[in-house]
């Protein structure tokens, strides 16, 4: 979801995240770095945990098996946010919004990990809800009508994700609704207060 969200932001409304002066190639490189850090590295580490017998399934159906993957993923996202906020000067000085939005995603992941200690919330719903919340917040705060079609597509995708999770009996409607609400809330608050 972070790759999808940043793909929309970097190529549809780069001015909102302070990257309108960057070339398309530079924005693509930034998107690749975000994709590797938020998807590639966590996916490889989770697969490694599975191969080492720390997880019985890559689906992580058992709530207790979700703890370590979410902790590791949260740490990776925290490191990536720190990197974008303090170590990549070109991005941190010209586009601090990138680190702020990435930080909100990190907060969402850490909250999912914490909630998973007690209850099985839908991480898929948190992800799509966060993307929706960021797009809605940016549209409202900056009057960005260019994001309307992306909003429609993400809304349809949210419905498909929720339906798939229900169809697979992976979550209850309450777990999916809570995930959507969490993602939406964290993203909307971040965009309105910090971006």
What are the tens digits of pLDDT across the range 48-83? 999 999 998 888 877 788 889 999 999 999 999 999
What is the Cα–Cα distance from 188 to 158, expressed in whole angstroms? 16
The pLDDT of residue 153 is above 90 = yes
Residue 26 banded pLDDT, cuts 50, 70, 90? very high
DSSP string for 5-54: HHHHHHHH-TTTTT-TTS-HHHHHHHHHHHHIIIIIHHHHHHHHHHHTTS
What's the pLDDT score for residue 37?
Answer: 96
* CA dist., res. 98 & res. 190, Å (int): 12
Q: Give the global pTM.
A: 0.91
pLDDT band at 1 (very low <50, low <70, confident <90, very high): very high
pLDDT for the residue numbered 126: 96
In the chain, % of residues over pLDDT 90: 82
Mean pLDDT over 90-115 rounds to: 93
Evaluate if residue 41 carries a pLDDT over 90. Answer: yes
What's the chain's average pLDDT? Answer: 93
The total of other beta-carbon atoms located within 10 Å of residue 23's CB is 9
Residue 63, pLDDT score: 78
Please state the rounded mean pLDDT for residues 175-183: 96
100: phi then psi, degrees, rounded to nearest 5: -65, -45
């Amino acid at each position: 979801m972070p790759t999808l969200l940043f793909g929309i932001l970097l190529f549809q409304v780069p001015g909102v995240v302070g990257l309108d002066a960057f070339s398309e190639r530079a924005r693509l490189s930034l998107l690749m770095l975000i994709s590797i850090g938020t998807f590639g590295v966590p996916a490889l580490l989770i697969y490694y945990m599975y191969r080492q017998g720390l997880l019985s399934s890559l689906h992580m159906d058992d709530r207790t098996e979700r703890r370590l993957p979410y902790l590791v993923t949260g740490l990776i996202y925290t490191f990536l946010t720190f990197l974008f906020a303090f170590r990549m000067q070109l991005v941190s000085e010209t586009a601090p919004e990138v680190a702020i939005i990435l930080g909100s995603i990190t907060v969402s992941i850490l909250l999912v990990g914490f909630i998973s200690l007690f209850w099985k919330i839908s991480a898929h719903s948190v992800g799509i809800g966060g993307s929706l919340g960021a797009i809605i917040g940016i549209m409202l705060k900056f009057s960005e009508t260019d994001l309307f079609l992306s909003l429609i597509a993400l809304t349809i995708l949210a419905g498909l994700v929720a339906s798939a999770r229900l169809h697979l009996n992976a979550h209850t409607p309450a777990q999916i609704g809570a995930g959507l609400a969490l993602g939406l809330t964290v993203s909307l608050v971040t965009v309105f207060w910090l971006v």
